[in-house]
Amino acid sequence: MNASSPVRGIGMTSARTRRRLVEALRDQGIGDERVLSAIEATPRHLFVDEALSSRAYENSALPIGRGQTISQPRVVAMMTEAVMAAPKLEKVLEIGTGSGYQAAVLSRLAQKVFTTERIGELARLARQRLHRVKIHNVYARHVDGLTGWPSQAPFDAIVVTAGGRLPQPLFDQLGEGGVLIAPVAGSDGMQRLIRFIRRGAEFEREDLGAVSFVPLLEGLE
């Protein structure tokens, strides 16, 4: 790496370290090549504060300010892989934009991504970052995601990246065969990642494993 050219340096390093991250994810059981390619193509270091960019390709969650975190790459990969069960991905809704990274990964697999964030400053920063990496099919709003995004429903997939009680509007806004992925509190208080698939009025439910997300909260900040 050329020390006098830090921007170019991180660019080159990140392509290589991103490949390494993808290898690590593959070893951890992420098998969908479309998901791995989307992760390989998404510069995670541009979605965290510059002071943390050297740690962007570690397989860990990182702080993004206001007490929130960018999810661990393994969890982003798991959620994205779970979304791929939807029959099509024309419209995807995300609750909890945070850094914008999960939305950026989804934008490579879906036609349009609608994402909601209750903290104004995070919503603004995420929009800036998405613009900077030239992603133009993500629509980001500073709104309370508990009511979903009714004017754009039905969605092929809904991804909830904060843990709490799942509100009914999210189920209502899911199209037929659509997939809802969310961390749900189990009986022991620990969160499990659950995939719901809509079959008419019924929802198939599958437990994808233990996770740990920041809380899903009501109202704007």
**Sites of contact with ligand SAH (CB under 6 A):** 68-71, 95-96, 98-99, 101-102, 116-119, 122, 144-146, 161-162, 214, 216-218
Least distance to ligand SAH, CB of residue 77, Å = 12
CA dihedral 93, 58, 210, 203 (to 10 degrees): 20
Bridge partner list, 154 = none
Compute the least distance from the CB of residue 164 to ligand SAH, in Å. 7
In the complex with ligand SAH, the residue whose CB is nearer, 71 or 107, is 71
- Spatial CA neighbour of 77 closest among 170, 193, 204: 193
Q: What is the DSSP letter of 205?
A: E
Q: Nearest CA to 39 among 86, 1, 72?
A: 72
Q: Which is nearer to ligand SAH, 42 or 156 (CB)?
A: 42
Using an 8 Å Cβ cutoff, are 114 and 139 in contact?
yes
The verdict on whether 54 is a catalytic residue reads no
CB of 159 to ligand SAH, least distance (A): 8
From the list 53, 71, 99, 107, the catalytic residue is 71
Helix/strand/coil for 159: strand
* Closer CB to ligand SAH, 124 or 199, in the complex: 124
Residues annotated as catalytic are 71
